[in-house]
Amino acid sequence: MSAFTSSALRRRVRARIGLYFGLTLGAVFAGFPVLWMLSSSFKSNSNIFAYPPKLFDSSFTLAPYLAVLSNPVQIGYFVNSYVVALSVTVVTLFVALITGYVFSRYEFPLKRIINVVIIGVQAVPPITLLIPFFGIMVALKLYNTYQGLIITYVVFTLPYAVIMMTAYFDSLPKEMDEAAKVDGASAQSILWRILVPISVPGMVSVGLYTFMISWNEYLFALTLTQTDDRRTVPVGIQLLMGQNNYLWNEVMAMSILGSIPVLVLFLIFQRYFIGGLAAGAVKA
């Protein structure tokens, strides 16, 4: 082996070691808070702040989880989150599919302006719309209702979903549409029978994004709901912090339980999610 080849091999090995070290350090930095949250959810409230701190100790207990799962009010928070998040995901996906197909396959007046408006909406900080949305929901008598939260979240998730689905449909060859039209297929048939079945990665990406946004949103859920029968998990976690004492172990337990649906969905659809993002990014 020549000296040049040996030197290049050593540089490659050092670069790979440096890369793995950086990735490991980043994983530890990102994962340690989650690990600490998990360990705290199995401790008694008094042992969470024990000194010196211990990641795991002998005070292992399932009491925080049992307290959360046996409380009908807190179970109701999870039910509310599922109702809202799933409804928003279905509505957003349905509208984004149709709108993305139209933007990708048809030319019509004001198309470019509408695209600019959709992209511009993404730049508006949601917090600036909090008071207007509150006023609108009160005026429409949708305050403290599922419908109010669902409409609000659809407004925030739909622009990104339309952009992603338009980009994904743009990545599909238009020759498929033309061949189907020759065989007598209508626009509806082309969309639902041809494009939708091969657009699963893009749909999964949009669906996961929408579900995560709807599931984790806190500010509007707090502002637009008033009673426990409409509040969602993020608000329920905050309500565990009482005026005089904080039940940190139950807060951590509920946070872990609230993270499980998103984590499970991502693990199941990870391959489609990454593929959908990559396909949309190339054309966007």
CATH of the domain at 169: 1.10.3720.10
- In this structure, the number of other CB atoms found within 10 A of the CB of residue 228 comes to 15
153 plus 214 within the same structural domain: yes
pLDDT of residue 95: 94
The reported pLDDT for the residue numbered 280 is: 47
Looking at the domain assignment, is residue 56 inside a domain? no
Hey, how many other C-beta atoms are within 10 angstroms of the C-beta on 122? 10
Q: What is the dihedral of CA 79, 83, 84, 89, to 10 degrees?
A: 130
Residue 108 and residue 14 in one domain = no
User: How far, in Å, CA of 100 to CA of 268, rounded?
Assistant: 25
Tokens of 246: 């904080």
Say if pTM beats, i.e. exceeds, 0.85.
no
Low-confidence ranges of the chain (pLDDT < 50): 280-284
Residues in the chain: 284
* Predicted pLDDT of residue 94: 94
pLDDT of residue 139: 94
Domain with 32 in it: 3-40
| Per-residue confidence (pLDDT) for residue 196, from 0 to 100 | 86
* Number of domains present in the structure of the chain: 2
